[in-house]
Amino acid sequence: MAKALRVGIGGLGTVGASVVRILHEKANTLACHCGRPIEVVAVSARDKNRDRGIDLSHVKWFDSPVQMASSNEIDVFVELIGGELDVAYASVEAALKAGHHVVTANKALLARHGVALATHAEEKGVFLNFEAAVAGGIPVIKVMRESLSSNHVSRIYGILNGTCNYILTRMFTEGLSFKDCLADAQKLGYAEADPIFDIEGHDTAHKLALLTSLAFGTVISLDDVYVEGISNISQVDIRAADKLGYRIKLLGVALKTDTGIEQRVHPAMVPTSSVIAQIHGVTNALAIQSDLLGELLFSGPGAGGAATASAVIGDLADIAKAHPGFQCGSVLGRPALALTPYEKACIATHAGGYFIRLSVHDRAGVFATVAKHMADHDISLESIVQRSFVEGQIGGTKTIILVTHETTEANIQQALARIAEDGHLVARSRFIRIERMT
Amino acid sequence: MAKALRVGIGGLGTVGASVVRILHEKANTLACHCGRPIEVVAVSARDKNRDRGIDLSHVKWFDSPVQMASSNEIDVFVELIGGELDVAYASVEAALKAGHHVVTANKALLARHGVALATHAEEKGVFLNFEAAVAGGIPVIKVMRESLSSNHVSRIYGILNGTCNYILTRMFTEGLSFKDCLADAQKLGYAEADPIFDIEGHDTAHKLALLTSLAFGTVISLDDVYVEGISNISQVDIRAADKLGYRIKLLGVALKTDTGIEQRVHPAMVPTSSVIAQIHGVTNALAIQSDLLGELLFSGPGAGGAATASAVIGDLADIAKAHPGFQCGSVLGRPALALTPYEKACIATHAGGYFIRLSVHDRAGVFATVAKHMADHDISLESIVQRSFVEGQIGGTKTIILVTHETTEANIQQALARIAEDGHLVARSRFIRIERMT
């Protein structure tokens, strides 16, 4: 059998420890699959003495991941350092400089520096694999990078954050408030102590930025993602959506429009009968629409030590099989230098249906005024619900729910501004975009 | 840019013509993606003069696909001959013998000769890619072969035949009979003039046999697949299933049990709330359950010229990128010689819930007798429905629907045999297996 692929792992948290454990437990299967063994020969983490339940006795310890990454004792550097962007960047750069392959699960690193690192990897002719950076154990990167080469992608959309989907699922099934669900998710380890990055949509935005580049062959453009989280979603929205035939999901969406590429992360109404509406709990899903395939959809575990480790090991196996003498191909599906500039379509030009919730004073003429402003802005209404199923009315106020036909975000914003000026609202108006499914 | 990958295509039906057209239309994108052009240099088909809407003026015509397959003018032989197993086999074998890579969409060829051909390809160090053979445009082969290397798969199940799913979907949504749906599917080109291969489950069985080998590392064992089609499914079954919270789908299922591997193709009850129940029309879907990932699910187009061509071109792109100097890896996820023997679990030992439909004489004591035979065979009942929602009663007869808790197929068969012996039945009893979803 050929020489072992020598792996150095930076970062031994849940994922890192799982990678070490699984590579050991499944050594024979993997060697059979790859035609050569994959061996962890070096590790680096913050605390040398922590008990991680894995045997590191035959593995060289490095205090510095950067030093390990550039050591000639390894063939591949696995970057699982995460959070600390400086250290992660420095160690990945050091590995590439030394001509080592890199596997990383670091979406933040790639969303910020992906194109530069890809350029670097391609110059050196080494792999920079990042399956674990998006949608955990679902092999969406491989599929987009390798299987869809002849497809012209028009839109991608998906549930890319398990924490948010868990919260929204429980809000729906158990009628709990956002706050209570979040607290529970934190207790159960599905949400971080500081949940902002997840619940405000930033985690989804990082992942979406990478997928957008793969989908459209553009440079990664994180700062152009429109981001809105789920902390404003209430039981009123969820119940009204249900009655109208929708579920609310936090989606990441990227599509080509006449004015450019729209990248957006926000709570969206999806039809109850759609597959994406059936994605429950911490599960992730991604749909890809293209000319040759219509719609492909993948769902699976978006996080967790074992699932993420599975993705990391899939990346390592690709390297083990290819090595040596392989042209490593493009990190982002086409050569980094051939990626085209990102042309942004503003959220104001977004076209779609809208779910609008207005809390208004219960007095004569309010609805007529609302209807007039809608008509003035060319917005036609599909459904109008006053009071009927809405809970939580405050004395002297009522809730109006409107569902619009396709219109633009600019029209909606202007109409709502006019409605607000009239002084009928008792609270800020809310709207949720409806994502069309075909 | 590196030398072009020279492709010879055998078979110019819908898929073959689509491959030629798309490789031409997307030549630049593909060359950018692969780092080299992919060029069709030779073709072979039955009728040289048929107008296929594609330009073949710069392409060499071979009257014999076998001769083309072994010609040194090509690097890859694409086998899209289909049906004629002898010609397909001979040409693939000739290509491998000549040291050419092979891409094929031929499930029947691989289900019968896959291991032998894989052995041959691996000896020669060439690719034998077959993404298009299963689930059309959904890259299930790539994912199972490359991404799941560290996973221990416990079960796969899926909708692998678009014709059947189209018929079952329309039977559900429009209340049509099986016969009428089939006739319509034939009119619309979703079903063949001779539909037996599709509707009796054989197409699904071929695909399942390949997936089973990839899932469990066993030799391909088509003859061990238990096969049952959808031609006996009636509106009574579909309506009863709906009321009980189920949809009926033709599934291919393979799982590991204590006695061996169960491979089965049959109509199955799946919970209405499951993702697989939302797969409508000609769409295919595959779920893979494994130790590290829980459940992965893919859905997308299972057939059609463009979708199948997309899979073929994905396979070609992998070859274009790898070539030259690459170790081609294993055709079936592990070396053909390392595949383990298939150990069959008989359908009689299948454990699960059952939906049973009995047409009985409407007289006293019938139900008591039925209930006794069930109890005698240790079968406990979850639901019992007499008459209530069942249409189509014939004078003096009634329909009894039973849903059982988990039991074995042997118990069900024996209980139904006893019930038949009692002379209460006016028609053969029917049962549909319930597929558990977690």
A270 vs A284: CA distance, rounded Å: 15
Q: Which residue of chain A comes nearest to B288, CA vs CA?
A: A300
Q: Do B335 and A275 touch (CB under 8 A)?
A: no
CA B401-B403-B408 angle, to 5 degrees, is: 125
**pLDDT, tens digit, 9 for 90 and up, residues B37-69:** 999 999 999 998 899 999 999 999 999 999 999
Same domain, B296 and B318: no
User: What is the rounded average pLDDT of the residues B377-388?
Assistant: 84
What is the share, in percent, of chain B residues with pLDDT greater than 90? Answer: 88
CA A425 to chain B, closest CA, distance in angstroms equals 39
Whether B347 is in a domain gets the answer no
Which of B48, B60, B207, B249 is catalytic? The answer is B207
Whether A346 is in a domain gets the answer no
CATH number (domain holding residue B371): 3.30.70.260
Predicted pLDDT at B389: 44
Whether B345 is in a domain gets the answer no
Q: Is residue B297 packed enough to be buried (19+ CB in 10 Å), middle (13-18) or exposed (0-12)?
A: buried
| B1 or A239, higher pLDDT | A239
Same domain, B297 and B310: no
Contact A152, A291 (CB under 8 A): yes
pLDDT band at B151 (very low <50, low <70, confident <90, very high): very high
Same domain, B271 and B325: no
CA A78 to chain B, closest CA, distance in angstroms equals 16
A297 vs B240: CA distance, rounded Å: 30
Which of A26, A142, A207, A321 is catalytic? The answer is A207
Q: Do B321 and A329 touch (CB under 8 A)?
A: yes
Partners of A35 on chain B (C-beta within 8 Å) are 327, 329-330, 335
CATH number (domain holding residue A119): 3.40.50.720
Same domain, A56 and A202: no
A367 vs A71: CA distance, rounded Å: 71
Whether B348 is in a domain gets the answer no
Contact B15, B131 (CB under 8 A): no
CATH number (domain holding residue B278): 3.30.360.10
Which among A123, A283, A351, A110 is positioned nearest to A211, based on CA atoms?
A: A110
pTM value?
0.95
Predicted pLDDT at B84: 67
Whether A344 is in a domain gets the answer no
A207 is an active site residue: yes
Kindly state the tokens that stand for A289: 């629409």
Same domain, A154 and A285: yes
Partners of A23 on chain B (C-beta within 8 Å) are 150
- SS3 of A283-312: EEEEEEEECCCEEEEEEEECCCHHHHHHHH
Partners of A297 on chain B (C-beta within 8 Å) are 297-300
Indicate the annotated binding residues of A for L-homoserine.
192
Same domain, B170 and B64: no
What is the complex's ipTM, to 2 decimals?
0.94
pLDDT band at B190 (very low <50, low <70, confident <90, very high): confident
Q: Do A33 and B296 touch (CB under 8 A)?
A: no
What is the share, in percent, of chain B residues with pLDDT greater than 70? Answer: 96
Question: Which among B29, B137, B297 has the least Cβ separation from residue A300?
Answer: B297
Same domain, A19 and A106: yes
Neighbours of B87 (CB within 10 A): 19
**Residue B325 predicted with pLDDT over 60:** no
**pLDDT, tens digit, 9 for 90 and up, residues B383-402:** 888 764 444 555 688 899 99
Same domain, A275 and A321: no
Whether B344 is in a domain gets the answer no
| Phi, psi angle pair for A150, to nearest 5° | -95, 5
* Structural domain range at position A358: 354-434
CA B354 to chain A, closest CA, distance in angstroms equals 25
Q: Do A146 and B314 touch (CB under 8 A)?
A: yes
Q: Which residue of chain A comes nearest to B132, CA vs CA?
A: A147
Whether A341 is in a domain gets the answer no
Question: Which among B279, B313, B327 has the least Cβ separation from residue A149?
Answer: B313
A13 vs A291: CA distance, rounded Å: 41
A436 vs B185: CA distance, rounded Å: 27
Same domain, A288 and A159: yes
Give how far Cα A53 sits from Cα of A50, A307, B167, Å.
Answer: 9, 18, 53
Question: Which among B310, B321, B335 has the least Cβ separation from residue A327?
Answer: B321
Same domain, B63 and B95: yes
Contact B323, B240 (CB under 8 A): no
CB contacts < 8 A (A, B): 178
Predicted pLDDT at A269: 98
B358 vs B385: CA distance, rounded Å: 11
Whether A196 is in a domain gets the answer yes
Partners of B35 on chain A (C-beta within 8 Å) are 327, 329-330, 335
Q: Do B297 and A293 touch (CB under 8 A)?
A: no
pLDDT band at B327 (very low <50, low <70, confident <90, very high): low
Question: Which among B22, B142, B150 has the least Cβ separation from residue A313?
Answer: B150
Q: Do B330 and A298 touch (CB under 8 A)?
A: no
Predicted pLDDT at B388: 46
Same domain, B150 and B223: yes
Q: Do B300 and A301 touch (CB under 8 A)?
A: no
Question: Which among B26, B293, B314 has the least Cβ separation from residue A147?
Answer: B314
Same domain, A147 and A292: yes
pLDDT-flagged residues of chain A (< 50): 388-391
Q: Which residue of chain A comes nearest to B314, CA vs CA?
A: A147
Q: Which residue of chain B comes nearest to A339, CA vs CA?
A: B32
Domain total for chain B? Answer: 3
A321 vs B135: CA distance, rounded Å: 25
Q: Which residue of chain A comes nearest to B18, CA vs CA?
A: A292
User: What is the rounded average pLDDT of the residues B260-282?
Assistant: 96
- Helical (H) or strand (E) element with A360: strand A351-361
**pLDDT, tens digit, 9 for 90 and up, residues B278-299:** 999 999 999 999 999 999 999 9
Kindly state the tokens that stand for B71: 């010609």
B143 vs B156: CA distance, rounded Å: 13
Question: Which among B32, B278, B335 has the least Cβ separation from residue A334?
Answer: B32
Partners of B314 on chain A (C-beta within 8 Å) are 146-150
| Phi, psi angle pair for A240, to nearest 5° | -65, -40
Partners of B293 on chain A (C-beta within 8 Å) are 137, 300-301, 306-307, 310
Q: Which residue of chain B comes nearest to A277, CA vs CA?
A: B275
Q: Do A300 and B300 touch (CB under 8 A)?
A: no
CA B315 to chain A, closest CA, distance in angstroms equals 8
- Helical (H) or strand (E) element with B107: helix B107-124
Predicted pLDDT at A135: 96
Predicted pLDDT at B365: 87
Average pLDDT, chain B: 94
